[in-house]
A = this chain, B = another copy of it.
Amino acid sequence: MNISTISIGDELVFGEVVDTNSARIAERLYTAGFKVQRHLTVGDVESDITEAVRTLAGESEAVIVTGGLGPTADDITAMAAAKAAARRLVLNEEALAHVKVVTGKLGDSAFPLNEKQALLPAGATVIPNPTGTACGFHLTCGGCSLFFLPGVPNEMIRMLDESVIPFIQQKWKQRRFIRTRVLKVFGPSEAEVNSLVKGVAAPDAGVTVAFCVNFPEILVKLRAEGDDERHVAEALDRAGEKARQKLQGYLFAEDDDTIDSVVAALFRTKGVTLSLAESCTGGMVAKRITDIPGSSAYFLEGVVTYSNAAKMRTLDVSPRLLEEKGAVSSEVALAMARGMRNLSGSDIALAVTGIAGPEGGSAEKPVGTVFIALAGRSGCRATKYNFFGDREEVRTIASFTAMDWLRRHLLSL
């Protein structure tokens, strides 16, 4: 079936507020087995709303509209809806009773204003709003079911879950089941990931594969769809297993897991302690580690040795090494990791030094040159990277790469 959504509000078309309602509605419907085909945003302009409703009602079996049901003069959705459906606005007794109860509870004195919220298109059915003054309403126009909900996200979602989706499920018995899995990959480019997972999509079994960049990760999105719930789940499992084999090593997490949560789980499981010595990432790796609750169990200490003096004093990096090789060098990265491990007594110590830019680059060591080193019980190693991007991107990918080093080390990859 064909569902569309409309978000109404000047604050949306002026870009003052990001519309999260349309994504939340789409996600809720998707999980319930329905797809939104298109979404439209218009401002608080009656003719724009009327035209939007009329157009999408002509193309869809259901349209969910949010916003413009408040008490103030710029809330004109009910009026526009009435025009689109060629109805009159009438005082809806159920809506009026609701408004009276809620404004009474809120001790709201501006009652005449709120009474406007009980004026609904003739023939509309009230959609109850348990938490606010604005009732929603349901209206049939041509063959299309129109659902009007307030724009306040919490109120909207509750009304969607409690009234609209059950109605849709009841009316359009869903025979489609949709299940998704997200595989998170780091290392290869989007194009390389694309060619790695060739053959994972199985159109005959309803399995599709899509890609999405969440810098610096690549997300591989597997989606299975069909009219038999068990078959759909099995097809997704098979595709997931296939993709996992093709991506192994690069695949670091699935679904709600992140590189940070995966690394945290590994530290907890392995009972290994960590310390960090950062230069160009300036605390970003420590932030990622300490973002996770319970990190104090394995994270002992971090230092941000931004100056050479700090590298010498705190990490015992030799002045000669800094002079001869430069602060951004394999040798200094190794010395920082070793120095940090000695200082903290942790099982492993990781060091990052590099040039994040925009200043400080040279022909030999351009902006984006980063060295990562890890010191552990069995020795020490360092690698040079040439990252591409601005200061924020270089720092982000460097800290992500550092997290991936920890993951690989703890998994002995």
Binding site for B on A (CB under 8 A): 10-20, 22-30, 35-45, 48, 52, 70-74, 105-110, 113-114, 131, 152, 154, 189-192, 194-195, 210-213, 215, 221, 276, 278, 280-287, 289-291, 293-296, 299-307, 309-310, 313-314, 343-345, 356-359, 386, 388-393, 395
Contacts and interface: CB of A to CB of B under 8 A. Distances in A.
B190 A357 contact: no
Given A38-B52, A343-B314, A357 B22 contact: no
Given A17-B23, A195-B110, A304-B302, A282 B293 contact: no
Given A23-B17, A287-B287, A300 B296 contact: no
B28 A37 contact: no
A150 to B, nearest CB: 10
A87 to B, nearest CB: 24
The interface centre, meaning the residue of A24, A30, A44, A282 with most chain B CB atoms within 10 A of its CB, is A282
Nearest to A357: B293
A72 B191 contact: yes
The interface centre, meaning the residue of A22, A45, A52, A345 with most chain B CB atoms within 10 A of its CB, is A22
A10 B395 CA distance: 30
Smallest CB-CB A-B distances: 7 pairs: A282-B290, A15-B27, A283-B286, A15-B26, A283-B283, A110-B191, A302-B304
Contact of A302 (B18, B24, B192, B306): B306
A110 B194 CA distance: 10
B13 A36 contact: yes
A174 to B, nearest CB: 15
B190 A71 contact: yes
A38 B13 contact: yes
Nearest to A52: B38
Given A22-B19, A283-B286, A310-B344, A194 B293 contact: no
Contact of A307 (B35, B108, B301): B301
Contacts of A302: 282-283, 303-304, 306
Contact of A282 (B113, B286, B386): B286
Given A27-B16, A285-B283, A48 B39 contact: no
A15 B23 contact: yes
Contacts of A110: 189, 191-192, 194-195
Given A110-B195, A194-B113, A210-B74, A301 B314 contact: yes
A38 B40 contact: yes
Contact of A359 (B11, B71, B294): B294
A16 B14 CA distance: 23
A213 B18 contact: no
Contact of A358 (B72, B282, B293): B293
The interface centre, meaning the residue of A131, A293, A307 with most chain B CB atoms within 10 A of its CB, is A307
A280 B28 CA distance: 32
Contacts of A287: 282-284, 287
B27 A37 contact: no
Contacts of A14: 26-27, 30, 35-36
B304 A301 contact: yes
Given A19-B23, A22-B41, 15 more contacts: A13-B36, A14-B30, A15-B24, A18-B19, A18-B23, A70-B213, A71-B191, A152-B213, A282-B286, A282-B291, A283-B304, A293-B358, A299-B306, A303-B303, A313-B343
Contacts of A389: 131
A74 B209 CA distance: 9
